[in-house]
Amino acid sequence: MLKNLAQHFQLKNNESNETDDVLRLAKKSYENFVLQSSTRNLDDAISNYMKLLDIDPSIPESYYRLASLLWQKGEIDIDAAIEQCQNSIELDPKSINAKIHLGFFLDMAGDFDGACHEFEEAIDLNRFFSSRPRLGLALVLIKKMRATNPTFEDFSKAVQNLLTGTVMSLWDYSTLRILYRSFINNFSVFVYNLVGNLLNAMKKYNGAVKFYENALEKTGYSDVFYTKIGNIFLEKGDPHLALDCYQKALDANPDNAQVWVKMASLLQTYYRDDTEQIIKCYQNIVDFDPKNASIFYELGHLYIRLEDIFNAVYAFKKAVELEPDNPFYRNSLGYVLVQLSDFDKAIEEYQAAIKLNPDNEWTSIVCQALAAIFYQVKGNTDAAIASYKTSIMFDPKNAEAYISLGNIYHDKNILDKAIENYCQAITLDPDIAKVYCNLGLALWEKDHVEESIIAYHKAIELEDEYHIAYNNLGVAYLDGVGMPDLALEHFEIALSKNPNYTLAYYNAGRACETMKDQTKAAEYYQRALDLNIITEDLDAEEIQERIFNLFEA
């Protein structure tokens, strides 16, 4: 009997020791969270108070502390927090801290009278050590006066409690204890930072790293000192270790916006292919700075890299919403809207960017993009020509705009204007092969055979792999000056550059046919016919007729 009683008391004593240990740990983690405001400390405090609640649900502190912590983490709403504080007061009607917390949540819920009642009761429970409830009462009264018709009574009470609460904070043990710990911690961090910075400035990188490693163990400010170590590794040219340190800093405190920025910059510089991780960084930065349009702009380009056009549109729209007068944001939004085939809205964005005109050369390029939509999508030739002319107006040295304008005139068979624009492009930039090829075709169509041959030769001189220029030159030799052997030579070169060039096979067949080599002509025609099934470049019946005519009696 006595043995069983001893075992019972021993068990009770063990349970009491465990409760005390967990309570002490919970208090410490809560104070660390108050001092450092890190997510890790918040999670530790919640975990410890949850454990304490499981061990002994009769401890009032667990309820109001969890109400505060879970509300700050966003896991419960105001009503649930109020309910938990009321549970704490039911367990201990004289708990000053429970009443202060309940007053705070009632204030947040807009129940100013209820909040005042709780703060006043807390003051009555410990009149000369009631700094916090007095300050809380003063703040509630000030909010109440702003929200309702202010009264002299509320005003005088607010002033009285603000003054007395400030004075009483000088001997409020709880407040002074937190302030003391905060001072000690901040002073320690200051000293470690100072010495570490000196070592770093002296290029004593290994010593600085070891010093910071000791600092993060001693102070608990892991995010601060892991960031410092990461900075050193980055300065030493070791981005991999720097990235690892920044990640550890964020594991310790995911709410450190500066580290997310550092990590994003590092990834953009050294790990550009890790687009998803870079996007994650910018998404977190957005959470801290949701009105920073440039972050959404960067996100938009990252989504483009992933070919995630819908999210790119969202990001650029947010950037434009925040800064509607930024032409670069407008231009990027226009670009992604084109990818979604929303051409009307894309036109609006490009036009807005052009009106803002931050730089003539840049705006000239935007005019080209707008012109391409008008011509290729809308079929509005006049609008396209006007846009290209506007592009040239902004930048008279834009050779590409002249080439595109020449192509439109060429398509409309206005050959003189086409030639004029091609020549202007050549004047601005004489090293663009395609403009000589286009010019050669326009000259050919104007029956300027010799000039077209010169243009094609120049295109080939600039770009030896230009199979189209070889084919067109062959046509000029075959049909313009009647030299089928020289023509065939150029058709075969075109085919060596592009073995799947249907038109070159067809033209080679024509050259062989002119030279009375029916067998070789038939081979070329047949090859053109076979490829044409895929490319559909030519009239299949015409090719078949030519093959038939080769061997007609």
Task: Tell me whether residue 483 is in a domain.
Answer: yes
Q: Which of 177, 207, 235 is the last residue of a domain?
A: 177
With contact defined as beta carbons under 8 Å apart, do 336 and 359 qualify? Answer: no
Task: Tell me whether residue 479 is in a domain.
Answer: yes
End-to-end CA distance of the chain: 129
Task: Tell me whether residue 427 is in a domain.
Answer: no
The Cα–Cα gap between 483 and 511 comes to 9
CB atoms within 10 A of CB 269: 10
Query: Residue 75 corresponds to which tokens in the numbers above?
Result: 């896991």
Q: Which residues contact 348 (CB under 8 A, 6 or more apart)?
A: 334
pTM for the whole thing? 0.65
Q: Which of 177, 193, 222 is the last residue of a domain?
A: 177
User: Looking at residue 183, what is its pLDDT?
Assistant: 42
With contact defined as beta carbons under 8 Å apart, do 126 and 164 qualify? Answer: no
pLDDT tens for the chain, 553 residues long, are 444 544 544 444 555 677 777 777 766 766 665 545 556 667 777 887 787 778 878 887 778 777 777 877 677 787 888 888 888 788 888 887 777 788 777 877 778 888 888 878 877 877 766 677 777 777 777 767 766 777 777 778 777 777 776 666 555 555 544 443 444 444 455 555 566 676 767 777 788 888 778 877 777 677 788 888 888 888 888 999 999 999 998 888 888 888 888 899 999 999 989 999 999 999 998 888 889 999 999 999 999 999 999 999 999 999 999 999 999 999 999 999 999 999 999 999 999 999 999 999 999 999 999 999 999 999 999 999 999 999 999 999 999 999 999 999 999 999 999 999 999 999 999 999 999 999 999 999 999 999 999 999 999 999 999 999 999 999 999 999 999 999 999 999 999 999 999 999 999 999 999 999 999 999 999 999 999 999 899 999 999 999 999 887 4
Task: Tell me whether residue 256 is in a domain.
Answer: no
DSSP state of 127: G
Task: Tell me whether residue 515 is in a domain.
Answer: yes
Task: Tell me whether residue 85 is in a domain.
Answer: yes
User: Looking at residue 186, what is its pLDDT?
Assistant: 46
Amino acid at 518: Q
The Cα–Cα gap between 64 and 62 comes to 6
Q: With b meaning 16 or more CB within 10 Å and e meaning fewer, what string describes 341-366?
A: eebeebbebbbbbbebeeeeebbbbb
User: Looking at residue 552, what is its pLDDT?
Assistant: 73
Task: Tell me whether residue 533 is in a domain.
Answer: yes
C-alpha radius of gyration, the chain, whole number: 40
User: Looking at residue 518, what is its pLDDT?
Assistant: 93
The domain tally of the chain equals 2
Assign residue 46 the CATH number of its domain: 1.25.40.10
Question: Among 131, 96, 132, 136, which Cα is nearest to 112's?
Answer: 136
Domain range for 73: 17-177
Task: Tell me whether residue 281 is in a domain.
Answer: no
Q: Which of 158, 177, 196 is the last residue of a domain?
A: 177
The Cα–Cα gap between 252 and 239 comes to 20
Question: Among 125, 85, 88, 129, which Cα is nearest to 107's?
Answer: 85
